[in-house]
Amino acid sequence: MNQYLKKYSYRPQLIADDPAPGLGIVVVIPSHNEPAIEHSLNALYSCIRPDCAVEVIVVINASESADAEILEMNMQTMVTCKMWEHQHSEQGFRFFTILENDLPEKHAGVGLARKIGMDEAVSRLHRAGNDEGIIACFDADSNCSPNYLVEIDAHFKTHPKALGCSINFAHPTFGTEHAPKNYLGIAYYELHLRYYNQALMATGFPFAYHTIGSCMAVRSSAYQKQGGMNRRQAGEDFYFLQKIIELGKFTVLNTATVYPSPRPSDRVPFGTGKAITDYLKTSDRGFYTYNLQA
């Protein structure tokens, strides 16, 4: 028994199937009340295949106190994912779905959903004999460049001592899916994120990295060493990566790109979705960021 899983895993082994030989990357996707997860699955399936085997784990989740409409949407997402798995899984590239529709109200949220999926990724990689394998985090409303998987594989091979990385991101700033004001808001928000990171670097702060949940990857060994993902309902990505960054040997992967959604959202109390929601309510005030002197 893997000692991390024995001590810290939230759930026992959830996927009975044996992992593919040569499993090297496991992508974890939390999904809560998502009406169109197949777009993200298609983005990953359309990626150029790396040399290693790849698995994608979707964790459909909700609180035990969730509204009936959310539970129903999650069940529809489960059906969609199962049909999608049947039609698209192939040797060396497989998809799995986990349904967690009754998580404890106190802890239910994106942090716990990521933890369940990432703990299962540890189990999959351990069973495949690869505790140095890569666990990548993605989101159920994100897209990615076709070289996403091959560049993750190449990055950790090129940097064999790297324990984790932040992956390049770019929010869509134009299109027809959202209103023009929505795209303007996400452009402001991304400029804020990049300005803030550059300002931290200018101060000499050693941990100045972007910490976006859909744009990060870690070695399973580092994930285990630092006690795994937390159960925070927001900001889980920031607090998790701080533990990985402090180990040293943290890197930035700029040769592939993740495209997070620019949509407004009420899923979390802060972050991208909340920032866009607030901007759309008060766009006449503009978009503020931190004073450089601060």
| 16-37 tens-digit pLDDT | 999 999 999 999 999 999 999 9
* Cβ(165)–Cβ(250) below 8 Å: yes
Amino acid at 273: G
pLDDT of residue 279: 85
135 within 8 A of 123, measured Cβ to Cβ: no
Answer for the pair 249, 163: CB distance below 8 angstroms, yes or no: yes
The pLDDT mean for the chain works out to: 94
Q: What average pLDDT does the segment 233-261 reach?
A: 94
Q: 242: Cβ–Cβ under 8 A, 6 or more apart, which residues?
A: 207, 211
Per-residue pLDDT tens over the stretch 184-228: 999 999 999 999 999 999 999 999 999 999 999 999 999 999 999
Q: Summarize pLDDT for 94-108 with one digit per residue, the tens.
A: 999 999 999 999 999
Q: Quote the pLDDT of residue 89.
A: 81
**Given CA atoms 37, 78, 120, 23 in this order, what sign does their dihedral have?**
negative
Secondary structure (3-state) at 94: strand
Contact yes or no for 30/110 (Cβ under 8 A): yes
CA distance 199 to 291: 10
Query: What is the spatial distance between Cα 9 and Cα 126, in angstroms, rounded to a whole number?
Result: 13
Instruction: Say how far apart CA 250 and CA 218 lie, in whole Å.
Output: 9
Q: Which residue has the tokens 């994120």?
A: 193
Question: What 3-state class would DSSP assign to 286?
Answer: coil
The strands making up 250-259's β-sheet, listed across from edge to edge, are 93-103, 53-63, 23-31, 134-137, 216-219, 164-169, 250-259, 143-144
Q: Encoding tokens for residue 149?
A: 């998987």
